[in-house]
Amino acid sequence: MRVLIVEDEPQLLRAVREGLCAAGYAVDEAADGEAGLHQALHVDYDAIVLDLMLPGIPGTTILERLRAAKTTPVLVLTARDAVADKVACLDAGADDYLTKPFAIAELQARVRAMIRRGAGRPDPVVSVGELRIDTAARQVHRGGERVDLTPMEFALLELLALRRGAVVSRTAIYEHLWNDDAETMSNVVDVYIANLRQKLGRELITTRRGEGYIIP
């Protein structure tokens, strides 16, 4: 899954980026409001972590403009802990908020929950036949036996599982699992699909020629 962080404080930005990368996300970042708004509007992120106090365009304005165009889940970071501030934040379109200072583990959990809700699957465990995909623990079990996947294999499986029943194109897969700085082979999606089929069974993922892949 691909996440955008909009935060102007370098130390906090680095900590959040490292925490989300460690959780298996592809991460883009913006250090000011103008860049953050541009990226939020032009890339289909799975979630956005947004600071309110930004140079240029404030986070509240980014949220208002984003909500006029897209439904991307947004977690607001704020130093304001008054109830009125939290209410205003949620009423402006935020899906969740986190007051500073915060624990990275809580940030990771809130982002995971937002992405699941955004996909219409709030339960952290997705079951496909005898396969159980735990998006919180990032573990996969088949028939009660754990199957070890690489972080990228799990990310691809999670994307397809959260969109179960819908065809996901190669382009969409690439855009949701790799950021703009990634250097990959042209057939990287096919390689990971083949790896998942080898580990989890060829029947799990169906190819729709000219369209993409689907978990029926």
User: Does residue 180 register a pLDDT over 80?
Assistant: no
> Does one domain contain both 140 and 98?
no
In the structure encoding, which two tokens stand for residue 104, read together?
């990275």
> Does one domain contain both 114 and 14?
yes
Domain count, the chain: 2
pLDDT band at 185 (very low <50, low <70, confident <90, very high): low
> Does one domain contain both 113 and 173?
no
State the residue range of the domain holding 198: 125-214
> Does one domain contain both 87 and 24?
yes
Q: Residue 129 and residue 198: Cα distance in Å, rounded?
A: 17
> Does one domain contain both 109 and 141?
no
Final residue belonging to a domain, choices 97, 118, 139: 118
Q: What CATH code is carried by the domain that includes residue 9? A: 3.40.50.2300
- Between residues 149 and 91, the one the model is more confident about: 149
Contact indicator for 147, 196 with CB cutoff of 8 Å:
no
Calculate the average pLDDT of the chain.
Answer: 92
pLDDT for res 182: 65
pLDDT for res 184: 66
pLDDT band at 87 (very low <50, low <70, confident <90, very high): confident
> Does one domain contain both 113 and 23?
yes
Q: What is the pTM of this model?
A: 0.89
The CB density around residue 53, as the number of other CB atoms within 10 Å, is 15
User: Does residue 128 register a pLDDT over 80?
Assistant: yes
Final residue belonging to a domain, choices 101, 118, 135: 118
Quick one: angle between helices 188-200 and 170-177, nearest 10? 90
SS3 35: helix
Final residue belonging to a domain, choices 50, 84, 118: 118
Q: Looking at this protein, which amino acid is placed at residue 40?
A: A
213 membership: H or E segment, kind and range = strand 212-214
Q: What CATH code is carried by the domain that includes residue 170? A: 1.10.10.10
